[in-house]
Structure 1
Amino acid sequence: MLKQQLKLINANLPLLDKEKLCTLTIENGLWTSITKQKGYVKEGQANDLENMDEATVLNLEGKILLPGLVDAHMHLDKAFSLQKVGNSSGTLEEAVENYSYAVKDFSKQEIKSRIIRAALMAVSFGTTAIRTHLDFHIRWGKEVAFRTIEAAIEAKNELKTIVDIQLFPLTPFFHFTEEEINILEEAMQMGLTGFGGAPHLSQTPEKDIDIIFRLAEKYDCPIDFHTDESDDPNVRTVNHIAKRTIDYGMKGRVTVDHLCSLAAMSIEDAEKMINKMIEAGLKAVTLPGANLYLQGRHDSFPVRRGVTRVKELLSKGVPIATASDNIHDPFHPFGRGDLLQIGLITAYATHMGSPTDIRTILKMITEIPANILGLNGYGISVGNKANFVIFDAITPEELFTLLPERRWIYRNGGWLIVPGKQKSWNNPKIERLWSHSKSYMTLTL
């Protein structure tokens, strides 16, 4: 049931103030006031979260409240494809090869069902905005390439009241013909958000990067590259990306993801690359789950683990988010689209466990990726949209210790998830989409 007015008391807002509880009010889906409390507030008319159905005042009892989580890098179209596309070696190379051959046999409905299931699963853990990369296998012809694009656009439209989804095609890296460029432009005109690619996999990376920048300039859209996902310290396409970002005046509109080779470089070389990133105003995303799984497969000892230099990038002021990447597919057989879990993996992989570090990781799944996606009206601030998630924990340290399953998710003036009910989804439309996507995928196994 939609609540036009809602008051939240005893809310714990670690991104705003780690010491004081707050009282917040919502009207018509917007934050209208945020007030720090002098202590714990007792209000006779307040309901707790276990008895919230008709409540206009809710007592959060010190539970953590964050703005809706933002996943800056997913592959929704590939999710849950593992049973059809394996990877016996566990390498990135085999994953790319196997999926690129399997994709021609997937129907549009199958891809759409995977996208919806993975997106809704992420929403169930508190995610309210996603940037997904879409395979664009033009090598099998326009019809195959457009299956994924059409499936993603249809899924985005069906989910638009539930989660914001940005769409970035993974452009070809085997070759880049004029015909392929024309088809890519046609796809962009269908409603994609920006251009992506993986130039480090190309035999002509600089040429491919230049093509993407020309297209981005033509369509006035952002760029998001898979960048240097390699254990080889000599793989440095980020250098050319930084140069072209400056040449095209695109500071703040280009994102580089993975950056695994940065971790394999000497400190001196890494600092040079990071300084070039800063000069170009590049934004970054680390994908610790997938890269811990994929990288170092050809090493004996020591084994490189691939996670980029997160602490160095943060200390230099590079905006870097952490994100889910792949879910249950040949690139990464695990994951569930839970950014809290990804935050914990980030903490382990980067030795970030101090109170300051933990709060930084919270920003890496909220404010920083919101900035990367260019979300308007995001965050807990008067006048912004009241899209948020409440966790059953009272400190950030407890949050990452317990990974609480109970999460109350509010968006667009109403509750999406209410734990403890017979049906957690508090919306029959979402329940139907969830059930249908799971049922369809079971039938296609």
Structure 2
Amino acid sequence: TFVEVDPRAGYRSLDAIKRLKVDYAWAIEIEICAFAQEGLTNEPATEAMLETALKSGADLVGGCPYTDPQPAEHIRRIFDLGERFHVPVDFHLDFHLDPTKSDLPEVIAQTIARRYEGRVSVGHVTNLSAMTPEDLEALGERLAQAAIAVTALPATDLFLMGPGAGRLTPRGVAPIHRLAAHGVVTTLSTNNVMNPFTPFGDVSLMRMANLYANIAQIGAPAELAGIFDMIMSLPARLVGKGRKSLEVGASADLVIFDALSSSDAVAQIAPAVTGWKDGRQTFLRPPPQLLREM
């Protein structure tokens, strides 16, 4: 989860999430990203606050270059913090629809120069939806080479992109399934729920998978299974907890969905029925019952 840390928010959100992390450790493992939502060069106090957050329990550090008047310097400073504290870095990036304007090349360059491959992820990158297929293919190869993961956030990106278009409103969601074809680790997630950026939602990743498949016009079972991986095995790989299949002796972290296959689960927005963490059952959602008159 991304936790804004700056002079506006202070440490209130960080303190709240740290408490939730402890209180619900029996059910879920929460990874905290100390996040510079409003820039760094334009708000110098934020950098020291990020350091404090990393010293007091944050697991990684993140930045938002498009809110900073000096995005390249913002990126470099986030990488500096990552190196100093030996943690991964994440960027909310290129949240617009101009394919000629991008901070992603700087992230790629810094990743390779610092040998940070496999420890960098980016989210949004909505401008990828406006790129030509040829440019997107070339970028996919560069992202794969740098081992940078890409997360699309369908609900927020669809809601906020192109509101003034008038007609033929762009979908504005990065076509990450095309990047996956080049070996890029691609994931789907929620960005905001029930707030001004996305005034609806229920945190269901299966709903995000279904929404992405709809936006990307993906319907074949094999392709839907690939979308399922974007909310299951690939996110696990992104946070360093992935495994390809059930294995004897592995940690019993399981979720059962009401579906016959992974593709059916995405197509039907299958509900989660029950789950376990470390072998302990953590939730149960009983199936609905028809109350038929006899």
2:142 to 258, 269, 276: 276
Alignment of 1:175-194 (within 5 A): 175-176=41-42, 178-194=44-60
Q: Which has the higher strand share?
A: 1
Measured in 2, the distance between the counterparts of 1:212 and 1:340 equals 31
Residue deviations 1:346-379 (CA, integer Å, cap 9, x gap): 1111122111111111111111000111126785
Measured in 2, the distance between the counterparts of 1:401 and 1:221 equals 36
Measured in 2, the distance between the counterparts of 1:319 and 1:335 equals 25
2:32 to 167, 181, 196: 167
**8 A contact 1:327–1:336 mirrored in 2:** yes
Matched, 1:211 2:77: yes
Alignment of 1:113-132 (within 5 A): 132=1
Q: Which runs of 5+ in 1 are unaligned?
A: 1-131, 422-445
**8 A contact 1:367–1:379 mirrored in 2:** no
Measured in 1, the distance between the counterparts of 2:14 and 2:178 equals 36
Q: Which residue of 1 aligns with 2:291?
A: none
Measured in 2, the distance between the counterparts of 1:153 and 1:335 equals 24
RMSD: 2.1
- SS of 1:342's equivalent in the other structure is helix
Measured in 1, the distance between the counterparts of 2:95 and 2:46 equals 24
The amino acid of 1:153's aligned partner reads K
Instruction: After TM superposition, give the deviation of residue 195 of structure 1 in Å.
Output: 0.7
Higher-Rg structure is 1
Given the superposition, is the C-alpha separation of residues 400 and 200 from structure 1 closer, same or farther in structure 2, using an over 3 Å criterion? same
The amino acid of 1:264's aligned partner reads A
Alignment of 1:412-427 (within 5 A): 412-420=278-286
Residue deviations 1:267-315 (CA, integer Å, cap 9, x gap): 3333333232122111111111111111111323432211112232011
Matched, 1:224 2:93: no
Measured in 2, the distance between the counterparts of 1:323 and 1:386 equals 23
Q: Which has the higher contact order (CA 8 A, sep 6+)?
A: 1
The amino acid of 2:266's aligned partner reads F
The amino acid of 1:229's aligned partner reads F
Measured in 1, the distance between the counterparts of 2:124 and 2:43 equals 27
Measured in 2, the distance between the counterparts of 1:420 and 1:181 equals 47
Residue deviations 1:114-171 (CA, integer Å, cap 9, x gap): xxxxxxxxxxxxxxxxxx1112232x3xxx4111111111111111111011111221
- Report the number of matched residues: 287
- Which contiguous aligned blocks of 4+ residues in structure 1 show a shift greater than 4 angstroms? 376-379
TM-score between the two structures when normalised by the length of structure 2: 0.91
**8 A contact 1:263–1:309 mirrored in 2:** yes
Q: Which residue of 1 aligns with 2:13?
A: 148
Q: Which runs of 5+ in 2 are unaligned?
A: 288-294
Q: Which residue of 2 aligns with 1:198?
A: 64
Matched, 1:380 2:246: yes
- SS of 1:263's equivalent in the other structure is helix
